[in-house]
């Protein structure tokens, strides 16, 4: 795998793993308003992001059934998650590219490894521990606008509800061919 794809996989993994659920986020059930006892008036959430199970059901036609490739993809992503956890916790040799301030909720870091591979790290600050699931579902949903998706993203292949191959296309300049890449993406706790 060349360096470009490794950087992309690590970047995508950092998006999904950087938020660590240290507190159990629970939402209370919506209250029913008893105006008319024969009518269900529970509040419906608006602008809700799809969960990984809902995305899986929606893209079930893209389900890949080759067990060997599925196992290899799972092993590759498990190894990538281990490397990501190491890079996420080790702050040595990182340089701050852009620090969070009152207007931006992200801090960008970068370091160069011995083999000239650039590792970029994003710390995304989320306010409200009870919004953990909502934030993760927001980032995981390819159809929802996200600051991490530059261009269009679609699911190209589904291995299981938490392991997919995505295709990301970049906006092309007038007269130039459209650029895109494929990347494995996983959702882990």
- Counting Cα atoms < 13 Å in the Cβ hemisphere of 122 gives 19
State residue 146's pLDDT score.
64
Tokens encoding 140: 């995981």
State residue 165's pLDDT score.
86
State residue 187's pLDDT score.
81
State residue 125's pLDDT score.
74
State residue 77's pLDDT score.
92
Contact 98, 104 (CB under 8 A): yes
Domain boundaries, the chain: 3-19+49-186
- Counting Cα atoms < 13 Å in the Cβ hemisphere of 21 gives 14
State residue 100's pLDDT score.
75
State residue 26's pLDDT score.
37
User: pLDDT averaged over consecutive 10-residue blocks of the chain (189 residues)?
Assistant: 55 47 39 46 52 70 80 92 87 85 78 86 76 74 66 82 83 76 83
State residue 102's pLDDT score.
65
Q: Which residue has the tokens 């990538």?
A: 80
State residue 18's pLDDT score.
39
pTM (two decimals) = 0.57
Tokens encoding 152: 């269009």
Contact 168, 183 (CB under 8 A): yes
């Amino acid at each position: 795998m060349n360096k470009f794809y490794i950087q992309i996989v690590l970047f995508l993994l950092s998006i999904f793993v950087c938020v660590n659920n240290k507190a159990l986020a629970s939402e209370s059930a919506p209250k029913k308003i008893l105006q008319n006892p024969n009518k269900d008036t529970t509040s419906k959430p608006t602008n809700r992001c799809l969960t990984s199970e809902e995305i899986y059901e929606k893209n079930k036609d893209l389900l890949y059934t080759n067990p060997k490739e599925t196992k290899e993809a799972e092993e590759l992503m498990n190894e990538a998650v281990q490397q990501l956890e190491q890079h996420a916790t080790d702050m040595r040799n990182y340089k701050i590219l852009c620090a969070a301030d009152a207007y931006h909720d992200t801090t960008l870091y970068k370091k160069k490894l011995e083999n000239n591979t650039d590792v970029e790290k994003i710390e995304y600050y989320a306010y409200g521990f009870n919004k953990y699931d909502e934030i993760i579902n927001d980032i995981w949903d390819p159809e929802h606008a996200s600051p991490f998706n530059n261009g269009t993203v679609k699911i190209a292949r589904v291995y299981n509800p938490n392991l997919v191959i995505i295709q990301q296309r970049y906006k092309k300049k007038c007269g130039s061919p459209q650029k895109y890449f494929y990347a494995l993406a996983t959702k882990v706790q």
